[in-house]
């Protein structure tokens, strides 16, 4: 967090709301009738003001590279539908989406399995050694 705070000491947006929950009816577009059994509910990471507009802020942890995620970003329907329901719930207009994409560090397969007992399934004894290896790497500044 210290490195993040140092790198992004000043943001170009103002936080309006964090972890804003919402819910709304699921409407059949052909009939205009709301479902009697279900509602859509969720929580957006945040609402931020950028200039004169409001944007939905979404934090997305990723295991793959940034480029891989950006290629698939256009298929992310969840953030679009969340923005629509937040507009309805808060009576505001969302003019953009701000993504905070966090790429998780990868451990090599050999490194991950180094302390694992041969033949032991994941979640068994071998995972304890894996966690110990991870802590040692973090303490040494390699993780």
Tell me whether residue 54 is exposed, middle or buried, using C-beta atoms within 10 angstroms of its C-beta: 0 to 12, 13 to 18, 19 or more: buried
Question: Which percentage of the chain shows pLDDT scores above 70?
Answer: 70
Could you read off the pLDDT of 17-38 as tens digits, one per residue? 999 999 999 999 999 999 999 9
Separation between Cα atoms, residue 135 and residue 113, nearest integer Å: 14
DSSP conformation class of 74: G
pTM listed for this prediction: 0.61
Please name the helix (run of DSSP H) or strand (run of DSSP E) that holds residue 86, with its range, or none: helix 77-90
- Residue 25: how many other CB atoms lie within 10 Å: 14
Half-sphere exposure of 22 (CA within 13 A, CB side): 27
When the pLDDT of each residue in the chain is averaged and rounded to a whole number, the result is 78
Q: Rounded mean pLDDT of 76-96?
A: 91
Q: Rounded mean pLDDT of 73-100?
A: 89
Comparing 135 with 57, which gets the higher pLDDT?
Answer: 57
Could you read off the pLDDT of 110-140 as tens digits, one per residue? 555 555 555 555 554 444 445 555 555 555 6
Give the CATH fold of the 2-103 domain: Lambda Exonuclease; Chain A (3.90.320)
- What are the structural domain ranges in the chain? 2-103, 109-139
């Amino acid at each position: 967090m210290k490195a993040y705070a140092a790198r992004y000491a000043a943001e170009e947006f103002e936080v309006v709301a964090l972890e804003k929950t919402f819910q709304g009816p699921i409407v059949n577009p052909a009939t205009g009738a709301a479902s009697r059994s279900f509602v859509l509910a969720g929580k957006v990471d945040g609402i931020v003001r950028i200039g004169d507009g409001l944007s939905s802020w979404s934090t997305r942890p990723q295991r793959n590279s940034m480029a891989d995620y950006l290629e698939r970003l256009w298929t992310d329907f969840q953030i679009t539908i969340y923005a629509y329901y937040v507009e309805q719930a808060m009576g505001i207009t969302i003019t953009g989406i701000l993504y905070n994409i966090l790429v998780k560090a990868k451990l090599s397969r050999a490194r991950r399995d180094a302390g694992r007992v041969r033949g032991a399934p994941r979640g068994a004894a071998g995972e304890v050694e894996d966690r110990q290896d991870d802590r040692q790497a973090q303490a040494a500044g390699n993780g």
